Amino acid sequence: MPKQQNRKSSLILCISSFLEKTPVHIAIITISLIWTLPTVGLLISSLRYRDDILSSGWWTVFQHPFDFTQYQLGNYIEVLTAEGMGEAFLNSLAISIPATIIPLAMAMFAAYAFAWMKFTGRQLLFILVVGLLVVPLQMTLIPVLQAYRILGLSGTFLGIWLAHTGYGMPLGIYLLRNYVGGLPKDLIEAAAVDGASHLEIFTQLIVPLSLPAIASFAVFQFLWVWNDLLVALVYLGGTLDVAPLTIRLTNMVGSRGQDWHILTSGAFITMIVPLIVFFSLQHYFVRGILAGSVKG
């Protein structure tokens, strides 16, 4: 009898717990479906013929039995076989990788300095760096471009690397400084007492312990640089030798948008690399986002 009562009570607890969490699960599923709906529409549109896209919405495919003859891969083939797309893909990698590593390294050094090194004006300098987050990117385009033309950096990889470094560092310093500053103080002090220099503390303690935050910022920075069009268009201009995928796709669509239908397939092609980066760093990314939310 006691065993049966325990089983009944545990079953009742399980059922009550499930009923309590049901509204939360329904809300999460609903939000996920709403969030995914535009992507589904984009995928269906990328497989439809141009005339079908112009004549009806993508949701009409669910109004009649699914017919494979109404769908094709022509849009994808057109994008993949376009002249210069292979070079543009390599250019996007050549821009995105250094433009992620450089600001990440500099922001990490700055975060350690702001968190654990004492020097005059540290707080004021950190406030100024954080204040740069509210400066609109568009305000800097013309002055920086004029400086680039004087220095000969316009239309070069170095110029676009420096631009993305400048735009990404304020957020990187802010995020990494908060994470690094939350590391155990006793551990840093113990290393200093043992005679470790700032460089040794940084490389042997701070960097390994900060991998979640580093991965989180790396994902943000890489996605922003990979999908960027404005900064690349301004600082690279019409230099097709160093043009990334975003500029190539814009040129394919045309100045009047007459071939806009290929944007749907081009969007999915350009999503491949960001998805690989995100899923490969997903474990660290989630830890970095949740860091500091739970104490103790």
Question: Which of 114-128, 201-215, 262-276 shows the lowest per-residue confidence on average (mean pLDDT)?
Answer: 262-276
Per-residue tokens: 60? 């009409």
pLDDT score of 181 more than 90: no
What is the reported pLDDT for 221? 93
Residue linked to tokens 């109404």? 70
d(CA 188, CA 68): 63
Phi-psi region of 136 (alpha: psi -120 to 50; beta: other; left: phi over 0): beta
What is the reported pLDDT for 68? 56
The whole-number average pLDDT for the span 221-227 is: 92
- Position 227: which residue type? N
pLDDT score of 201 more than 70: yes
Q: How many CA atoms lie within 13 A of 295 on its CB side?
A: 1
Domain with CATH 1.10.3720.10 in the chain: 76-290
The whole-number average pLDDT for the span 8-31 is: 71
d(CA 92, CA 135): 26
Q: Closest Cα to residue 60, out of 44, 75, 37, 47?
A: 44
Q: Closest Cα to residue 178, out of 225, 120, 129, 222?
A: 129
The pLDDT confidence band at residue 148, using thresholds 50, 70 and 90, is very high
The pLDDT confidence band at residue 17, using thresholds 50, 70 and 90, is low
Reduce the DSSP state of residue 93 to 3 states and report it.
helix
pLDDT score of 61 more than 80: no
Q: Closest Cα to residue 217, out of 288, 294, 121?
A: 288
With 0-12 / 13-18 / 19 or more C-beta atoms within 10 angstroms meaning exposed / middle / buried, residue 125 is middle
Q: Average per-residue pLDDT in the chain?
A: 82
Q: Closest Cα to residue 125, out of 144, 110, 108?
A: 110
For 76-290, CATH gives 1.10.3720.10
With 0-12 / 13-18 / 19 or more C-beta atoms within 10 angstroms meaning exposed / middle / buried, residue 117 is exposed
pLDDT score of 295 more than 50: no
What is the reported pLDDT for 105? 94
pTM of the predicted protein model? 0.79
- Position 48: which residue type? R
List pLDDT tens digits, range 78-106.
787 777 788 888 999 999 999 999 999 99
Percentage of the residues of the chain whose pLDDT score is greater than 90: 25
What is the reported pLDDT for 10? 62
